[in-house]
Amino acid sequence: MSKQQLELGFDDPLKRASVRRLERPALGVAWWFGQMRRVVDAAVEWRPTPPARPEQTQLRLASGRA
């Protein structure tokens, strides 16, 4: 195991390579919207739930009230 100090600089060649990939946003956008179209096309159409049955409840007032 090396005990030398690791130096990190701002002029990293790996970062420049990732920036080059970001300079082509059209490819990423086209891919993203293609994925979203696939999701929408594969979506299941859900039927709305039927309305709930009426429920009879009692209103209990505080003691001392009419």
Structure tokens at 61: 């007032």
Classify residue 49: in a domain, yes or no: no
Classify residue 28: in a domain, yes or no: yes
> Is pLDDT larger for residue 47 or for residue 63?
47
For residue 23, the enclosing domain spans 11-43
Q: How far apart are alpha carbons 66 and 57 in whole angstroms?
A: 19
Classify residue 39: in a domain, yes or no: yes
- Identity of the amino acid at 52: A
Classify residue 25: in a domain, yes or no: yes
> Is pLDDT larger for residue 60 or for residue 1?
60
Per-residue confidence band for 25, with pLDDT thresholds at 50, 70 and 90: low
Query: Could you give the number of structural domains in the chain?
Result: 1
> Is pLDDT larger for residue 27 or for residue 21?
27
Classify residue 36: in a domain, yes or no: yes
Per-residue confidence band for 61, with pLDDT thresholds at 50, 70 and 90: confident
Torsion of CA 19, 20, 24, 28, to 10 degrees: -60
Classify residue 33: in a domain, yes or no: yes
